[in-house]
Structure 1
Amino acid sequence: MKRFANRRDAGRALAARLAKRAWHDPLVLGLPRGGVPVAAEVARTLNAELDVVVARKIGAPNHPEYGVGAVTADGEPIYDAAVLRTLGLTEGQMTDACDRERAEATRRTALYRQHRPAPRVEGRDVVVVDDGLATGVTARAALHSLEQLRPHRVVLAVPVAARESLASFGEPVVALLVPRGFGAVSRWYDNFEQLSDAEVLEVLDHRER
């Protein structure tokens, strides 16, 4: 099955698929960090406004790397009920962790926007882009947050997705690859280096040039 050379290559391939659709006043939002260079290629092809939507994974107490949910700066948290049950946790026990991640999402949103106002969402077609879909919890938090802002429609678009994660989305997801043996997002890229905040800002700065 095809692999992508890097995130920009994946973005160009994803953009070609999305360009076959009609879009109403499109807004493309990348999920930082890895989703931003993918989103930039989509926005360029669709001649759309580019911005970010920041969603932070909520980690289990004493095991922060074990994600049980996700939250944006201004949306309600989304939890994986099955994971909470497995760990014997309740949503109420996650309040402190949720508050920390919401604060970090707020900080990162301000960092990436650099004093620019938030884009208008109401009445527009919004395309949320990431570099891949593994558990899908951060993407679901982002979509839930955006749906409260009354867009015309919201579409999640990714170069590659885990088959089992697609079922958690009420709306269809645009995914170029849905491999049986997913493994990890990085497996489907030749170059999957981690991005810095400075690199994300550089991509976003180019949107106005």
Structure 2
Amino acid sequence: MFKDRNDAGNQLATLLAKYKDDEVIVLAIPRGGLPIGASVATFLNAPLDVVLTKKIGHPNNKEYAIGAVSLESIILSNSNILDNNYIERETERIRRTLKERHEQYYKNRSPKKLQNKTVIIVDDGIATGNTLLATIALVHKQRPSKIVVAIPVAPPSAIYKISNLEKVEEVICILQPNNFRAVGQFYKNFEEVTDQKAIQILDSFNSKKVSEI
């Protein structure tokens, strides 16, 4: 059980100490991943950025991810989905949302370049892992030298899926409970992180890093 996301981030950070000598970029998944990412990036003295992707839900169950969309790419994790019209409609709808988020998160700057970097993807927890699988594939297209996934909590089945990806160097997960029902179950304080709060964390972190240069 974690006190809050900051506590979870601090615990994860110590497990990532061996990457301090790498050229690291910490990529947080908005919105709950931002407090985690800030703790990890502070410990590693690394840049912090976000990965703006959004899942494509199954037409019969929107919570079940069949792929993910970024502004530039689309990855489908389920080849049995043959309704191209549905995929096209969902991709267009999701990209409108992502464009709005991009404008919010990148008002005065550009996304970090990931090529030849050690990219550590962080979130506050994962359930099925399907969305993260697609997100990893999208990140991999930018040719980082390593992809590391660091999360406080996930069910063993999700960790198994991600650990078997050749694209992933290492998966670090503190809690892997069999009785997993929801991510918030393992936090004493699991208040919602709004877009406004997430952007504030990101801007504050990057402003501090600039002032240190």
Which TM class, normalised by the smaller chain length?
Answer: 0.7 to 0.9
Maintained 8 Å contact 1:39/1:50 = yes
1:13 alignment counterpart: 11
Deviation larger for 172-181 or 68-77: 68-77
User: Are residues 1:142 and 2:135 paired?
Assistant: yes
Opposite residue 146 of structure 2, the aligned amino acid is R
In structure 1, C-alpha distance between the alignment counterparts of 2:132 and 2:12, rounded to whole Å: 17
Q: CA RMSD in A?
A: 1.8
Alignment of 1:182-197 (within 5 A): 182-197=180-195
2:82 to 85, 90, 93: 90
1:100 to 84, 93, 96: 93
Q: Percent identity?
A: 36
Deviation larger for 43-52 or 23-32: 23-32
In structure 1, C-alpha distance between the alignment counterparts of 2:72 and 2:183, rounded to whole Å: 27
Q: How many residues align?
A: 201
- State the TM-score, normalizing by the size of structure 2: 0.86
2:119 alignment counterpart: 126
Shift of 1:144: 1.0
| Structure 2 CA distance for partners of 1:154 and 1:76, relative to 1, 3 Å | same
In structure 2, C-alpha distance between the alignment counterparts of 1:25 and 1:64, rounded to whole Å: 37
2:28 to 27, 30, 48: 30
1:179 to 155, 177, 181: 177
User: Are residues 1:43 and 2:41 paired?
Assistant: yes
Opposite residue 147 of structure 1, the aligned amino acid is H
SS state at 1:77 partner: strand
- State the TM-score, normalizing by the size of structure 1: 0.88
Maintained 8 Å contact 1:69/1:79 = yes
In structure 2, C-alpha distance between the alignment counterparts of 1:30 and 1:106, rounded to whole Å: 17
User: Are residues 1:167 and 2:160 paired?
Assistant: yes
Shift of 1:107: 2.3
In structure 2, C-alpha distance between the alignment counterparts of 1:66 and 1:168, rounded to whole Å: 15
Shift of 1:149: 1.0
Maintained 8 Å contact 2:67/2:74 = no
Maintained 8 Å contact 1:12/1:42 = yes
Give the gaps of 5 or more residues in structure 2.
209-213
| Structure 2 CA distance for partners of 1:67 and 1:151, relative to 1, 3 Å | closer
